[in-house]
Structure 1
Amino acid sequence: MTVQFHFFEEAGVAAQALADAVRGDLQQALESAPRALLLVSGGRSPLPLFALLASQPLPWAQIDVSLVDERCVPLADADSNSALVARHLLVGSAAAARWVPLVDEALASHASDEWAVAQQAGMAANHNAALAQAAVVILGLGNDGHTASLFVDAPQWDEARQTSARYVALQPQAAPHARVGLSLQALIGQRHCYVWSCGADKLATLERLVALVRDAPTQPTDHLTDHLADAGPLALLIAHPKVTLHVFHSAR
């Protein structure tokens, strides 16, 4: 188990520290490759981070930006992560970045079946060379322990944590919309993986998951994964011996 916590009092200070770390990772990635892929999560809490990322002095024309996960909705929908990123991250100098959508806008706008859109989006993402490997992944977290739309109540959860495919389609039962997002194995294989966290409830969730992993019986990795499966993907990432999660947490 390797979790490194970086604690800050204010969200703005935490966002600046994480933006600086991401800039360094992207610059390092571009030293050995012509392009670098940044994957971000949606929601309202990372908006201060998006603003600071957008102002980073980076060669944005060499950077691809996409999502850790997306809901299969049109851009005009209030739940669209793509629209959120377009408004708050792909602005100023960062507008030169190449946007790589997870969900086809035309398909999402005209399809009546979100699940069909999710399945097609997952297949397309797995065949998209631009999404084959990220330089940096920034995760969010839910108080139930989910991340990247990997909900344990989704019928596809077992497949999502076992498949070697990079992206999976999911249909959570307790959350709206069919989704497409990174699989557990894709997250395990990620070199630079950050968790953005804000507030007492998120910290309590992380502390609960760390305690759960710490108190789990010592088992081979596969058996430990089965033991912790109901706790959700963040617990499994925390437990995995090859994963280092860098948590940037602000008290408010």
Structure 2
Amino acid sequence: MSKTLVVVVPDADILAATVASRLVTKIVDAQAERGFASVVLTGGRIAGKVLHTIKELPAAAAIDWARVDLWWGDERFLPAGDPDRNETQARAALLDALPLDPARVHAMPASDGPDGDDASAAAARYARELATGGAEVPPFDVLMLGVGEDGHVASLFPEHPVLNETGTTAATFNSPKPPPTRVTLTMPTIQTADEVWLVAAGPDKTDAVGRALNGDKLLPAAHATGTTKTYWLLDRAAAANVAKA
């Protein structure tokens, strides 16, 4: 059963530094244990801060970046290089500065990719990429998620049909947040990760974080759990309605 841990720090900058330090340590430990690490990235303001902070951390030099697999939890189904794509933002914040193995950077398909504007086909393509190692999904050491103001994670929104998807990936149509079409990991896939980290900062996240941690199962965030540990990494404003804050 997954152990849930809540970490609360004073503000968003300290939160980004905390998450960045934890991620570097987790990657180093995974590489020491089995030679490589596998991380699922997320998008959003705080995720960008985390990646930018890693660039400044001396401890990040201990990582063999050529032996890190990078995946994404979801993606806005837009053309490659669009500034609103999570991949584009991650590359600008950190990835383009790292000696990564391009074959191990698993970006979700773009709307001008091989499947054109067929988001369902793009999601199926990503599912096939996840399965290239022989298992349905690879072993994720860390799967990071931002938490939306409505309690959504990845592109899994409250009361949206995509929540019922049981495959490894899905296309999200008619998203309540723009753009309306996205590609996402499903909740069952999220729940395969060794550790799930839910990261949230700011007063606009207070209600969703409090409700999810208090067990409101209407919120997708309440269902996002790792197989061994689930971390809620919060600044004080986001944690205002959390009993442990």
Task: Looking at secondary structure, tell me which structure has more helix per residue.
Answer: 1
Structure 1 residue 144 corresponds to structure 2 residue 120: no
Query: Would you say the 8 A contact 1:169–1:178 is kept in 2?
Result: yes
Name which of structure 1's ranges 94-103 and 23-32 shifts more when overlaid on structure 2. Answer: 94-103
Aligned AA (2:171) = A
Deviation at 1:2, TM superposition (A): 4.7
Query: Would you say the 8 A contact 1:157–1:170 is kept in 2?
Result: no
Flag as ranges the 4+ runs of structure 1 deviating above 4 A. none
Match of 2:128 among 124, 131, 134: 124
Distance in 1 separating the partners of 2:43 and 2:54: 14
Render the CA deviation track for 1:6-52: whole Å, top value 9, x for unaligned: 11123222222211211121122112323211111112232221112
Aligned AA (2:38) = L
**Counterpart in the other structure of 1:189:** 192
Alignment TM-score, normalising by the size of structure 2:
0.80
**Counterpart in the other structure of 2:66:** 61
Match of 1:174 among 169, 173, 176: 176
> Which blocks of at least 5 consecutive residues in structure 1 are unaligned?
214-227
Count of aligned pairs between the two proteins? 227
**Counterpart in the other structure of 1:24:** 25
> Which blocks of at least 5 consecutive residues in structure 2 are unaligned?
238-245
Match of 1:198 among 201, 219, 229: 201
Percent of residue pairs bearing the same amino acid type: 21
Alignment TM-score, normalising by the size of structure 1:
0.78
Q: 1:33/1:167 Cα in 2 relative to 1: closer, same or farther (>3 Å)?
A: farther
Q: 1:54/1:64 Cα in 2 relative to 1: closer, same or farther (>3 Å)?
A: farther
Q: 1:156/1:193 Cα in 2 relative to 1: closer, same or farther (>3 Å)?
A: closer
**Counterpart in the other structure of 1:245:** 230
- Give the aligned CA root-mean-square deviation in angstroms: 2.7
Deviation at 1:68, TM superposition (A): 1.2
Render the CA deviation track for 1:147-183: whole Å, top value 9, x for unaligned: 0111234333212xxx2x3323222442323222222
Deviation at 1:87, TM superposition (A): 0.6
Aligned AA (1:142) = G
**Counterpart in the other structure of 1:70:** 75
Aligned AA (1:250) = D
Q: How do 1:79-228 and structure 2 match up within 5 A?
A: 79-92=84-97, 94-97=98-101, 98-104=104-110, 106-107=112-113, 111=116, 113-129=117-133, 132-159=138-165, 163=166, 165-175=167-177, 176-213=179-216, 228=217
